[in-house]
Amino acid sequence: MDLDAFRWLLTDPGQDLLVRTAGALAEQGDELAVQTSLRRTAAAEHVAAALTQVALRARAEVKLGPSAAKMYFTPDGLEQATRLPVARHRAARLTAFEATTHVDLGCGIGGDLVAVAEAGITCVGVDLDPVRVAVAEANLAALGLPGAVSVADATRIDTSPFDVAYADPARRTGAGRTFRVEDWTPSWSFVETLLRRDSCVKVAPGIPHALVPAGVEAEWVSHHGEVKEAALWSGRLATTARRATVIGPGGLATLTDDDDPGPAAVGVRATGAYLYEPDGAVVRAGLVTAVAAAAGGGLVDEHIAYVTADEELSTPFARGYRVLEELPYREKQLRAALRERGVGRLTIKKRGVDVVPEQLRKRLALDGDTEATIVLTRVAGQGTALLVQPL
C-alpha cells in the first residue's frame, strides 16, 4: 500500500470516499463497475486504496469483530494480526501482573496495541515499516485509544523503561511462510535475549517444546476449536511450564502441567463407554493425560491423542463422544457395516492412521438416510473403527 495514498484516506475527502466505496459495493456488488464509477470523481490511486480498505475490513471482521469496520489494514498486517479475543486474553494476563507500561516490538497494524490500550496499559509500538506504523497510529485514533507509535528497529530499542516487552516475530520470507526460527524477523537470538526479562513473545503453535528456554512458560491458545498461537512468557510473567488456554462460547478455561499426572499415572486402556478428543491447544501443550486424569480414564494408545473413559465428562478441553459400537476397520467390511445401518451422511474423525477422510468417504459410496460419525484410530497399536455419537 502506498503511504501517501493511505494518509490521504485519513483526510475528510478520503473518509468520504471510503463511505461511498463501501456503499457502492454493498449496493452493486461489482467491484470493477464501482471502481470505474468512483474514478470519475477521485484519483485512481485513491480509489484503489479505498477499495483495498473496504475489502480488508470485511475480511478482518472474523478476527476483530465490529471494531474492524473502523480500522485500517494492510494485507500482510491483517494476516499476522492476533484475533481480538486472544489479544484481550493476553492483555488481561498483563493486567493481572499489574503491568502499567508495555512496548510492542514490531507492532504491525496495531492489533495487539489496541487490546493493551483497552486494558488501560500505557503502550508504545515500533515497526520498521512506515506504512504499518501509519496504520497502527490510525487504528488507535479511530478507536479513541491512547498510545504512541513510531518507525524504529525493534532490536535497537531500550526496553528497560517498560514493565513488559512484547514481540511477534514475522514468520515469512520471500518464499512464503517459514517454520524455521532462524528465518524469523527479529531473529530467534533476539527473542532469546528478550526472554531474559519480563516479556511475552508470540510464536507459531508448532514451536518444539525443546526450543523453549528453561524457566519460560509456553502457552498454546485456541479460539473456537482452532489453535491460533503459542505465547512464551518470561520473568515474573511465567507461572508454569506448559499451559493450554481454550477460548470458546462459554468463556475462557486454562489447563497447566500442574494438572497433569503424566502418562504413567493414567496409562493405556481398552475403549470405554466414552471417547474424548482433546482440544488442539491441549495436544500442542502435551497435556492430553491431564484430560485423561480429569475423566478418570486413560489413553487409547500411548502415541495417540484420544482419551477413553467409562463416565461422561463435560469439559472445555475436549470434545466428547459416546461409543456406540466397534465396527470393522477394513474398508470393505466397514462399507458393508455402514450400509447395513443405513448410513448415508458420514463424519469421519481420525488420528494416528493413514486415512484421508474425503477420499474414504467417496470410496464408501454410502446412500442411506442415517447420519453417523466414526472415529478411525489405533487402540493399543491396532487399527480400530468406532461408531460414536457426539455428546
- Non-local CB neighbours of 55 within 8 Å, separated by 6+ positions: none
Q: Closest by alpha carbon to 146, among 133, 159, 137, 157?
A: 137
Which of 31, 63, 95 marks a domain boundary? 63
Confidence grade of residue 185 (pLDDT, cut at 50, 70, 90) = confident
- Same domain for 122 and 215, yes or no, is yes
Contact assessment for residue 331 and residue 296, using Cβ atoms and an 8 Å cutoff: no
Mean pLDDT of 306-327: 96
Q: Is 103 helix (H, G, I), strand (E, B) or coil?
A: strand
Q: What is the band of 177 on the pLDDT scale with cuts at 50, 70, 90?
A: low
| 256 found inside a domain | no
Task: Please tell me whether residues 209 and 268 are part of one structural domain.
Answer: no
Q: Can you tell me which residue has the cell 468417504?
A: 361
Residues 133 and 159 placed together within one structural domain of the fold? yes
How many domains are contained in the chain?
3
Please indicate, yes or no, if residue 211 is contained in any of the structural domains.
yes
Say yes or no: 199 and 52 in one domain: no
**Are residues 355 and 318 part of one domain?**
yes
| 33 lies in some domain | yes
Question: What is the structure's pLDDT at 171?
Answer: 72
Residues 108 and 224 occupy one common structural domain: yes
Q: Are residues 85 and 230 in the same domain?
A: yes
At 186, the pLDDT band (50, 70, 90 cuts) reads confident
Q: Which residues of 9-28 are buried (b: 16+ CB within 10 A; e: fewer)?
A: beeeebeebbebbbebbeee
Q: Are 3 and 43 in contact (CB under 8 A)?
A: no
Rounded mean pLDDT of 23-43?
92
Domain co-membership, 56 together with 103: no
**Whether pLDDT at 143 is above 80:** yes
53, part of any domain: yes
Of the pLDDT bands very low, low, confident and very high (cuts 50, 70, 90), residue 255 is: very high
Same domain membership, residue 141 and residue 35: no
Domain that residue 153 falls in: 78-239
For residue 180, give the CATH number of its domain: 3.40.50.150
Find the CATH number of the domain harbouring 269. 3.30.2130
Q: What pLDDT, on a 0 to 100 scale, did the predictor assign at position 380?
A: 87
Lowest mean pLDDT among 170-179, 218-227, 291-300: 170-179
Residues 382, 342 share a domain: yes
End-to-end CA, the chain? 48
212 within some domain: yes
Note the pLDDT of residue 341.
Answer: 96
H-helix or E-strand spanning residue 311: none
| Per-residue cell: 17 | 470516499
Residue 175 has pLDDT above 80, yes or no: no
Confidence of residue 176 (pLDDT cuts 50, 70, 90): low
71-80 tens-digit pLDDT: 999 999 999 8
Q: Do 345 and 312 belong to one domain? A: yes
Name the residue type at position 270.
A
Percent of the chain with pLDDT over 90: 92
- Percentage of residues in the chain with pLDDT exceeding 70? 98
Statement to judge: residues 26 and 90 lie in one domain: no
Tell me the pLDDT tens digit for each residue of 336-381: 999 999 999 999 999 999 999 999 999 999 999 999 999 999 998 8
Summarize the confidence of residues 217-234 as an average pLDDT: 96
375 occurs within a structural domain: yes
Rounded to two decimals, what is the model's pTM? 0.91
Tens of pLDDT, residues 49-98: 999 999 999 999 999 999 999 999 999 999 989 999 999 999 999 999 99
Residue bearing the bigger pLDDT, 56 or 186: 56
What's the whole-number average pLDDT of the chain? 94
In this prediction, residue 46 carries a pLDDT of: 96
Looking at the domain assignment, is residue 386 inside a domain?
A: yes
Sign of CA dihedral 233, 234, 235, 239: positive
